Amino acid sequence: MTVRTFFLGLGAAFGLAWLVLLIAPFDVLADQRPLPYDPDIDGKEGTFPAGLRPHVAEGSRIYLQEGCAQCHTQINRPEYLGTDTHLPLSAGVDPTGADARPTHPNDYLQVPYAPLGVQRLGQDLINVGVRHPDAHWHFVHLYQPQAVVKWSIMPGYEHLFDVMPIQGQRSQDALKLPAEYAPKDKDGNELQVIPNARARTLVDYLLQLRQDESVPASELSPAVRRQMVKDASSK
Protein backbone atom coordinates (compact mmCIF):
# COMPACT_ATOMS: atom_id res chain seq x y z
CA MET A 1 0.00 0.00 0.00
CA THR A 2 1.34 3.43 -0.87
CA VAL A 3 1.19 6.49 1.37
CA ARG A 4 -1.18 8.08 -1.12
CA THR A 5 -3.53 5.08 -0.99
CA PHE A 6 -3.39 5.18 2.80
CA PHE A 7 -4.39 8.82 3.10
CA LEU A 8 -7.00 8.67 0.33
CA GLY A 9 -8.50 5.45 1.71
CA LEU A 10 -8.57 6.75 5.26
CA GLY A 11 -10.05 10.05 4.09
CA ALA A 12 -12.80 8.20 2.21
CA ALA A 13 -13.53 5.81 5.11
CA PHE A 14 -13.69 8.61 7.66
CA GLY A 15 -15.49 10.99 5.29
CA LEU A 16 -18.34 8.59 4.60
CA ALA A 17 -18.89 7.86 8.29
CA TRP A 18 -18.61 11.55 9.17
CA LEU A 19 -21.21 12.41 6.55
CA VAL A 20 -23.75 9.72 7.46
CA LEU A 21 -23.29 9.61 11.25
CA LEU A 22 -22.40 13.18 12.12
CA ILE A 23 -23.04 15.85 9.52
CA ALA A 24 -26.42 14.78 8.12
CA PRO A 25 -28.06 13.92 11.50
CA PHE A 26 -26.67 17.09 13.08
CA ASP A 27 -28.80 19.24 10.81
CA VAL A 28 -31.89 17.07 11.23
CA LEU A 29 -31.68 16.89 15.03
CA ALA A 30 -30.68 20.55 15.44
CA ASP A 31 -34.06 21.51 13.98
CA GLN A 32 -35.98 19.82 16.79
CA ARG A 33 -38.84 21.94 18.04
CA PRO A 34 -42.11 21.42 19.95
CA LEU A 35 -44.43 19.17 17.94
CA PRO A 36 -48.11 20.07 17.48
CA TYR A 37 -50.86 17.68 18.53
CA ASP A 38 -53.60 16.89 16.02
CA PRO A 39 -56.87 17.54 17.91
CA ASP A 40 -58.71 15.01 15.71
CA ILE A 41 -56.34 12.14 16.40
CA ASP A 42 -54.54 13.06 19.61
CA GLY A 43 -57.67 14.42 21.21
CA LYS A 44 -55.95 17.55 22.46
CA GLU A 45 -54.43 20.81 21.31
CA GLY A 46 -51.06 22.40 21.97
CA THR A 47 -47.56 21.09 21.52
CA PHE A 48 -45.25 18.43 22.87
CA PRO A 49 -43.61 19.59 25.09
CA ALA A 50 -46.17 22.13 26.22
CA GLY A 51 -43.71 24.95 26.82
CA LEU A 52 -40.25 25.92 27.92
CA ARG A 53 -39.34 25.00 31.48
CA PRO A 54 -37.17 27.30 33.60
CA HIS A 55 -33.57 26.47 34.62
CA VAL A 56 -33.49 23.19 32.66
CA ALA A 57 -30.30 23.91 30.70
CA GLU A 58 -28.40 25.14 33.76
CA GLY A 59 -29.83 22.38 35.96
CA SER A 60 -28.81 19.67 33.52
CA ARG A 61 -25.28 21.12 33.40
CA ILE A 62 -25.04 20.89 37.21
CA TYR A 63 -26.56 17.39 37.09
CA LEU A 64 -23.73 16.30 34.79
CA GLN A 65 -20.97 18.13 36.66
CA GLU A 66 -22.04 16.56 39.95
CA GLY A 67 -21.64 13.15 38.32
CA CYS A 68 -25.31 12.11 38.62
CA ALA A 69 -25.21 10.62 35.10
CA GLN A 70 -22.55 8.11 36.16
CA CYS A 71 -25.07 6.19 38.29
CA HIS A 72 -28.47 7.29 37.00
CA THR A 73 -29.95 6.99 33.54
CA GLN A 74 -32.69 9.13 32.06
CA ILE A 75 -34.10 6.82 29.47
CA ASN A 76 -37.12 4.61 29.00
CA ARG A 77 -36.29 2.05 26.36
CA PRO A 78 -38.99 0.62 24.08
CA GLU A 79 -40.52 -2.77 24.82
CA TYR A 80 -38.26 -4.68 22.45
CA LEU A 81 -35.33 -3.68 24.67
CA GLY A 82 -36.61 -4.55 28.08
CA THR A 83 -39.29 -3.67 30.52
CA ASP A 84 -38.42 -0.03 31.26
CA THR A 85 -41.81 1.34 30.33
CA HIS A 86 -43.52 -1.07 32.71
CA LEU A 87 -41.23 -0.45 35.66
CA PRO A 88 -42.78 1.58 38.42
CA LEU A 89 -39.67 3.58 39.06
CA SER A 90 -38.69 4.22 35.47
CA ALA A 91 -42.13 4.89 34.14
CA GLY A 92 -43.01 6.91 37.22
CA VAL A 93 -46.45 7.48 35.90
CA ASP A 94 -48.94 4.63 36.12
CA PRO A 95 -46.80 1.74 34.89
CA THR A 96 -49.80 -0.18 33.66
CA GLY A 97 -51.38 2.75 31.90
CA ALA A 98 -51.03 4.30 28.49
CA ASP A 99 -48.82 7.11 29.82
CA ALA A 100 -45.86 4.78 30.13
CA ARG A 101 -43.91 5.29 26.92
CA PRO A 102 -40.35 5.21 25.60
CA THR A 103 -38.41 8.45 25.72
CA HIS A 104 -38.61 10.81 22.75
CA PRO A 105 -35.98 13.37 21.59
CA ASN A 106 -38.37 16.16 22.60
CA ASP A 107 -38.11 15.02 26.24
CA TYR A 108 -34.62 16.60 26.13
CA LEU A 109 -35.47 19.63 24.02
CA GLN A 110 -33.89 22.25 26.25
CA VAL A 111 -30.75 20.48 27.42
CA PRO A 112 -27.44 21.09 25.63
CA TYR A 113 -26.35 17.53 26.45
CA ALA A 114 -28.91 14.79 27.11
CA PRO A 115 -27.77 12.99 30.29
CA LEU A 116 -28.92 9.55 29.13
CA GLY A 117 -26.46 7.96 31.55
CA VAL A 118 -23.84 5.23 31.71
CA GLN A 119 -25.17 2.62 34.09
CA ARG A 120 -27.93 2.10 36.62
CA LEU A 121 -26.23 1.89 39.98
CA GLY A 122 -29.11 4.11 41.06
CA GLN A 123 -32.63 4.33 39.74
CA ASP A 124 -33.61 5.85 36.43
CA LEU A 125 -34.58 9.51 36.90
CA ILE A 126 -36.56 10.28 33.75
CA ASN A 127 -39.68 10.57 35.92
CA VAL A 128 -38.23 11.46 39.30
CA GLY A 129 -40.28 14.67 39.28
CA VAL A 130 -43.46 12.56 39.14
CA ARG A 131 -42.31 10.14 41.83
CA HIS A 132 -41.05 12.86 44.19
CA PRO A 133 -42.78 16.17 43.56
CA ASP A 134 -41.58 17.64 46.90
CA ALA A 135 -38.47 19.87 46.71
CA HIS A 136 -37.68 19.36 50.41
CA TRP A 137 -37.47 15.60 49.88
CA HIS A 138 -34.86 16.18 47.18
CA PHE A 139 -32.82 18.57 49.33
CA VAL A 140 -32.69 16.12 52.24
CA HIS A 141 -31.94 13.27 49.85
CA LEU A 142 -29.09 15.21 48.25
CA TYR A 143 -27.64 16.24 51.59
CA GLN A 144 -27.89 12.83 53.22
CA PRO A 145 -29.54 10.12 51.09
CA GLN A 146 -29.67 7.63 53.98
CA ALA A 147 -31.87 10.09 55.91
CA VAL A 148 -34.73 9.29 53.53
CA VAL A 149 -33.76 5.89 52.10
CA LYS A 150 -31.94 3.89 54.80
CA TRP A 151 -30.29 1.40 52.45
CA SER A 152 -29.25 3.90 49.79
CA ILE A 153 -25.68 3.62 48.46
CA MET A 154 -25.76 7.15 47.07
CA PRO A 155 -23.15 9.52 48.53
CA GLY A 156 -24.27 12.75 50.18
CA TYR A 157 -23.62 16.06 48.41
CA GLU A 158 -22.71 18.16 51.47
CA HIS A 159 -20.80 20.62 49.30
CA LEU A 160 -24.10 21.78 47.82
CA PHE A 161 -25.23 23.02 51.24
CA ASP A 162 -24.14 25.70 53.72
CA VAL A 163 -23.97 24.49 57.31
CA MET A 164 -24.21 27.39 59.77
CA PRO A 165 -25.14 28.20 63.36
CA ILE A 166 -28.76 29.12 64.12
CA GLN A 167 -28.80 32.79 65.05
CA GLY A 168 -32.18 33.74 66.40
CA GLN A 169 -34.76 31.96 64.33
CA ARG A 170 -33.97 29.00 62.11
CA SER A 171 -33.90 29.99 58.41
CA GLN A 172 -37.05 29.17 56.46
CA ASP A 173 -34.87 27.39 53.93
CA ALA A 174 -33.14 25.17 56.50
CA LEU A 175 -33.62 21.45 55.98
CA LYS A 176 -35.75 19.49 58.42
CA LEU A 177 -33.44 16.58 59.06
CA PRO A 178 -34.03 13.53 61.28
CA ALA A 179 -32.20 14.10 64.59
CA GLU A 180 -29.45 11.54 63.88
CA TYR A 181 -28.50 13.29 60.63
CA ALA A 182 -28.66 16.90 61.86
CA PRO A 183 -25.12 18.34 62.14
CA LYS A 184 -23.98 19.80 65.49
CA ASP A 185 -21.13 22.11 66.48
CA LYS A 186 -18.45 21.03 68.94
CA ASP A 187 -20.59 22.16 71.87
CA GLY A 188 -23.46 19.97 70.74
CA ASN A 189 -25.62 22.83 69.40
CA GLU A 190 -27.62 21.96 66.33
CA LEU A 191 -26.56 23.64 63.09
CA GLN A 192 -28.83 24.50 60.22
CA VAL A 193 -28.30 23.19 56.71
CA ILE A 194 -29.28 25.49 53.86
CA PRO A 195 -29.13 24.53 50.18
CA ASN A 196 -26.88 26.76 48.06
CA ALA A 197 -27.73 28.15 44.62
CA ARG A 198 -26.40 25.08 42.76
CA ALA A 199 -28.51 22.75 44.91
CA ARG A 200 -31.62 24.85 44.22
CA THR A 201 -31.05 24.84 40.46
CA LEU A 202 -30.36 21.12 40.52
CA VAL A 203 -33.53 20.36 42.48
CA ASP A 204 -35.54 22.65 40.19
CA TYR A 205 -34.27 20.54 37.31
CA LEU A 206 -35.01 17.22 39.05
CA LEU A 207 -38.57 18.32 39.77
CA GLN A 208 -39.04 18.98 36.07
CA LEU A 209 -37.94 15.50 35.09
CA ARG A 210 -41.36 14.17 34.23
CA GLN A 211 -42.22 12.33 31.09
CA ASP A 212 -45.94 12.71 31.53
CA GLU A 213 -46.89 14.27 28.20
CA SER A 214 -47.99 11.95 25.43
CA VAL A 215 -46.17 11.89 22.10
CA PRO A 216 -48.20 13.26 19.14
CA ALA A 217 -49.59 10.59 16.83
CA SER A 218 -47.49 11.95 13.98
CA GLU A 219 -44.41 10.58 15.79
CA LEU A 220 -45.76 7.09 16.37
CA SER A 221 -45.47 4.07 14.12
CA PRO A 222 -47.95 3.88 11.20
CA ALA A 223 -49.75 0.92 12.81
CA VAL A 224 -50.30 2.77 16.10
CA ARG A 225 -51.32 5.89 14.21
CA ARG A 226 -53.87 3.96 12.14
CA GLN A 227 -55.35 2.53 15.33
CA MET A 228 -55.57 6.01 16.87
CA VAL A 229 -57.31 7.36 13.78
CA LYS A 230 -59.73 4.43 13.91
CA ASP A 231 -60.41 5.00 17.62
CA ALA A 232 -60.91 8.73 17.08
CA SER A 233 -63.38 8.22 14.23
CA SER A 234 -65.40 5.65 16.15
CA LYS A 235 -65.92 8.09 19.06
Partner 1 sequence: MSSLPSALSEPELAAQRARTDRSLRLPVLFFFTSAMFWLMVALAVGFVNSIQAFQPGFLAPSSRLEYPFTYAVGQIALIYGWGFNAAFGLSLWLTARMSRVSLKLPLIAVVGGHIWNVAITIGLAAILLGSGGSGVHLWEMPVQLWPALLAAFLVIASQVFGMFFRRENREQVYIAQWFVLGAWCWFIAAVPTTFLLVSAPRGSGVFATLVTSWFGDGLLYLWFVAIAVASILYLVPKVSGRALGGEKILLGAFWGLFGLGVWSGMQRYLGGPAPVKLPAFGGAAAVLLVVPLALIGIVVFRTVAARWKQVGSSPTLRFSIAATIGLLVFGLTKALVVQYPVAALLQFTMATTGVEQLAIFGVFSLAAFGAMYFITPRTSGCDWRSPYLADRHFWFNIYGVMCLLGVNLIGGYGQGLAVSSIDPSWGTKLATNPDAAYWFSVIETSRAYLVARSLSYLFLLISNVVFFTQIAQMWIGKGRRDGQAMQLQSHAH
Tell which positions 100-159 bind partner 1, by CB under 8 A: 102-105, 107-123, 131-132, 145, 148-149, 151-159
Per-residue contact string for residues 189-208; x = within reach of partner 1 by CB under 8 A: ---------x----------
Cα–Cα distance between 4 and 74 in angstroms, integer? 46
> Does 71 contact partner 1 by CB under 8 A?
yes
- Asked if residues 120 and 95 have their Cβ atoms less than 8 Å apart, the reply is no
> Does 18 contact partner 1 by CB under 8 A?
yes
> Does 224 contact partner 1 by CB under 8 A?
no
Stretch that binds partner 1, among 2-10, 44-52, 166-174, 177-185 (CB under 8 A): 2-10
> Does 179 contact partner 1 by CB under 8 A?
no
Taking Cα atoms as reference points, which of 168, 47, 20 lies closest to residue 109? 47
Cα–Cα distance between 115 and 68 in angstroms, integer? 9
CA of 10: how far to CAs of 14, 21, 24, 25, 50, in Å? 6, 16, 20, 22, 46
| Least Cβ distance, residue 110 to partner 1 (angstroms) | 8
In the bound state with partner 1, the residue whose beta carbon lies nearer, of 121 and 231, is 121
> Does 182 contact partner 1 by CB under 8 A?
no
- Asked if residues 212 and 53 have their Cβ atoms less than 8 Å apart, the reply is no
